[in-house]
Chain A
Amino acid sequence: GAVVSQHPSRVICKSGTSVKIECRSLDFQATTMFWYRQFPKQSLMLMATSNEGSKATYEQGVEKDKFLINHASLTLSTLTVTSAHPEDSSFYICSARDRLRTGRYNEQFFGPGTRLTVL
């Protein structure tokens, strides 16, 4: 149990285009989802936290108009990188948790990540 999927796993796009990344919880209700960005050989940097049905809370320094997050259902959150530029190239990871569960289900479960390359 507690499986999180991400799609696509890899995406290459041209500068100026928008890219959407999906994060799905497959066997539990993801009442809260987190989006991270990770550069090579570095740690995960939290970009935003989203609760189902609410607007996302962005971390300081993260442009909310550039990284649009939608968490419209209990199993799906999307991250849209708008007008992508080469500096947006990175590895994006989502995680999900069910805040209504206790114990291990209170943990974050991670998706496999999406590698974005902007040419």
Chain B
Amino acid sequence: AQTVTQSQPEMSVQEAETVTLSCTYDTSESNYYLFWYKQPPSRQMILVIRQEAYKQQNATENRFSVNFQKAAKSFSLKISDSQLGDTAMYFCAFMKHVVIGTSGSRLTFGEGTQLTVNP
């Protein structure tokens, strides 16, 4: 079974600064995906960034980037130039690689980190 751990229940950052959210996971799988989801006060889950385990290059999406350390099973999220709209609960999630046509794999979520961006 997979586990995902987010050790920071709450974090805060000043607007325009950079913040890093931590995530570690445990798995015996060799091929998998890692995700960061954002859940703002509206509670809609929004995909922030996605990383395939077989890719060594860290994923980036505008102000969001990850530091993926496969051997250490670490997957941190860096938010640059933080904005007030980044205030949300952030969840790290793991999914096994699924073969096309199979019923597929569940997402395993971490406990979440509540990020507050202060003006």
Contacts and interface: CB of A to CB of B under 8 A. Distances in A.
Interface of A: 31-32, 34, 38, 41-44, 46, 49, 51, 91, 93, 95, 97, 99-102, 104, 106-108, 110, 112-113
Contact of B110 (A43, A91, A106): A43
Contact of A113 (B43, B50, B98): B43
Contacts, number: 59
A113 B41 CA distance: 12
A41 B9 CA distance: 10
Contacts of A104: 50
A49 B103 contact: yes
Nearest to B106: A46
B56 interface: no
B91 A99 contact: no
A106 B103 CA distance: 10
A107 B114 contact: no
Contacts of B102: 99
B100 A102 contact: yes
B94 interface: no
Nearest to B99: A99
19 contacts: A31-B103, A32-B104, A34-B106, A38-B43, A41-B89, A41-B114, A43-B91, A43-B112, A44-B45, A46-B107, A93-B43, A95-B107, A99-B98, A100-B100, A102-B100, A106-B104, A110-B44, A110-B45, A113-B43
